[in-house]
A and B are shown apart, each in its own frame.
Chain A
Amino acid sequence: MTAPEDLRAGLRGAGVALQVGPFVVRLRSRLDRVERALALFYDRQLLPPEQTAFADFHITLARASGLHWLWRPQARFFLDGRSPFRPLPLAHAYPLFEWGLNWCIAQHAHDFLMIHAAVLERDGQALVMPGEPGAGKSTLTAALTLSGWRLLSDEFALLALKSGKLVALPRPVSLKNAAIDLIRERYPQAVIGPASHDTSKGTVAHLRPTDTSIERMQAPARPAWLVFPRFTPGGRDQLQPLAPAEALQRLIGASFNYSVVGGAGFEAAADLIEQSACMQLEYADLDVTLGLLNGLREGGP
């Protein structure tokens, strides 16, 4: 455990090291809101600095330079001294860290097939839910992880090319707009950070991962269910089987680096399909859908 003053000194000095799934991130920042977010979300993942000689990503979040900090303060993301994106308003410094870290991983982690998908685990078996923004993935993920599932990832599935297993990348779940209050009301135990308004995704607030998710971060999971959710307000909640060929095509379509890893990526995706029951989920009512997902048995719905 790191004391708050150590965290502050670390962030402002040589950087603090965080274990984020299979990656070590070294983060430096003088921004108070980054420090607060770190204390809230990453306190269990701080590594002792003297034992962390190697980091995968060296990230700095800083105030953007230039005179306009007077009337429009902005935060800039740096990976090893280079800034790959435009700055965002200072108030969005923490979401900028999360998005920037996604970018870092997507650019470099080609030992995985990386998929835009949520991953949760129960009894060693993983539920993979790829989905486009707006499919309700994050809300479902938050609800599932708060009702006993282990969080492996909110939107960034790592399928190890060598082992075919899903590797955990537990990060705060990014809740958007109405989902923030919905989760807060239903799960009083949920720890949700301050909201950032008017981001490119609307209002965003992050849910702190459960203790189990962090404690078991190093344990991979075997794929068991592949579910493509679609939020259909006013519709009927139902799970329908999906043909493996179509599931494979959609899984590949949701991958960030399929074109880079080539054949190995195809093999890994095909293995995942073979091991999983593939389904399509229409979801309207959170309770009914949670019932459906909690009722998943090995080999089928």
Chain B
Amino acid sequence: MNAQLTLTRLVTILRDPGAVRDLSLADWDLLVRLARVASLEGRLQAVIKAAGVLSEVPPAPRRHLDAACTLADRQHTMLRWEVARIHEALAGAGIPVLLLKGGAYVMAGLPCAPGRQFSDLDVMVPQPQLQTAEQHLFVHGWVCEGYDAYDQTYYRRWMHELPPLTHMRRKSVLDVHHTILPPTARLRPDPQKLWSAAVPLDGFPGLHVLAPTDMVLHSATHLFHDGELENGLRDLVDLDALLRHFAERDPGFWEQLTARAFEMDLARPLYYALRYGREFLATPVPDSVYVRLAPARPAAPLRAVMDALFRRGLRPHHWSCDGPLSGTARWWLYVRSHYLRMPLRLLLPHLVRKAIKERRAGKREQPEP
């Protein structure tokens, strides 16, 4: 089966949904599976639907796309409910909240929201109010469970977020951040600047989303400097949609974006986002932007290494996309994300402890169907 072709098709349809007309049932057979593994099934349906060509999709694959969208719609409904509950818990206490990533896309009605699938909700509160926020959330049912003393200390001392909180009754998971990268990370964006530029969310006084430039920078940083790449392509698709949307609404956007990237110390992740966005999704990045980002560009040898890693790591983690070096690339990217997070003297003991603990716990799998 031609795997590269299927990935190309997925990307092509996301950009130009009319291309669904050219697909055979056999093409759909692999495409649906690829989209599913990449968490892009719901997004694919939304894009095809918005273009008015859903009727061109044969019934058999369409059933799966529709089901993914049903699931995504459900997640969005639950997300709106969770956001309202968080507002209830924190607005009264005068604690401002920034919604991040998926939560922000949905609540701000951004074009990457329809059909987007996600699991957790990420928010940010100002660092000085972190403890008070946790107390108020606790009173409203969010508790930190399943983390031992070591995990607790690790998160609270070294990380940019609390250990994930779970709601007692609804079992929804909430990540509360106080900045966008761990304080020990090599890059040091100033969260105060994010707050100053944040955009209030209509209808929820005290709730905010990041300003357009910061939203792109955070998404890029999360993907290229922090996160695991399980949903790498999906995150790149988000970035692509955000960039197209903001650039279309504001002719000065690209200039503001590059200036802000240097101001926030996040020019390198932005460089990667634009480089691979253009490569995978043909994100329309003006050449002038690359010129301005030149100082943040890695030197040629490093660039070649990163290309080798990201070209593999950003592909969906599906057998059809895996080459002989995919596993190795993913492992190096995992090591890299940790290395960027904290200095080696902190990282090594942590990874050793983590490895021992995971070995003891055994593989996390569902016991039986």
- Residues of A bordering B, CB below 8 Å: 24, 53-56, 58, 77, 80-86, 88, 96, 99-100, 102-103, 108-111, 200, 259-262
User: What's the minimum C-beta distance from A161 to chain B, rounded to whole angstroms?
Assistant: 9
Contact of B368 among A56, A83, A86, A111 (CB under 8 A): A86
Nearest CB in chain A to that of B73: its residue: A262
Chain B residue numbers with a CB within 8 Å of A82 are 37
Chain A residue numbers with a CB within 8 Å of B367 are 85-86
Q: Determine whether the beta carbon of B60 is less than 8 Å from that of A108.
A: no
Q: Determine whether the beta carbon of B319 is less than 8 Å from that of A99.
A: no
A299 to B311, CA, bound (A): 64
Chain B residue numbers with a CB within 8 Å of A84 are 365-366, 369
Q: Determine whether the beta carbon of B58 is less than 8 Å from that of A54.
A: yes
Q: Determine whether the beta carbon of B77 is less than 8 Å from that of A262.
A: yes
- Residues of B bordering A, CB below 8 Å: 24-26, 28-29, 33, 36-37, 58, 60-61, 63-64, 66-67, 70-71, 74, 77, 318-319, 365-369
Chain B residue numbers with a CB within 8 Å of A111 are 63, 66-67, 70
A251 to B243, CA, bound (A): 47
User: What's the minimum C-beta distance from B147 to chain A, rounded to whole angstroms?
Assistant: 24
Q: Closest 6 interchain pairs by CB? A: A53-B25, A99-B369, A110-B67, A53-B26, A81-B319, A54-B25
Chain A residue numbers with a CB within 8 Å of B77 are 262
Contact of B24 among A53, A88, A109, A110 (CB under 8 A): A53
Known: A56-B64, A110-B67, A260-B70. A85 touches B26 (CB 8 A): no
Known: A54-B28, A82-B37, A260-B74. 5 other contacts (CB 8 A): A53-B24, A54-B60, A80-B319, A81-B318, A102-B369
Contact of A109 among B60, B67, B319 (CB under 8 A): B67
Q: Determine whether the beta carbon of B368 is less than 8 Å from that of A261.
A: no
Known: A85-B368, A102-B369, A110-B71. A80 touches B26 (CB 8 A): no
Could you write out 17 A-B pairs with CB less than 8 Å apart? Answer: A53-B24, A53-B26, A54-B60, A56-B60, A56-B63, A56-B64, A82-B37, A83-B365, A84-B366, A86-B367, A88-B368, A96-B369, A100-B369, A102-B369, A109-B67, A110-B70, A111-B67
Chain B residue numbers with a CB within 8 Å of A85 are 365-369
Nearest CB in chain A to that of B25: its residue: A53
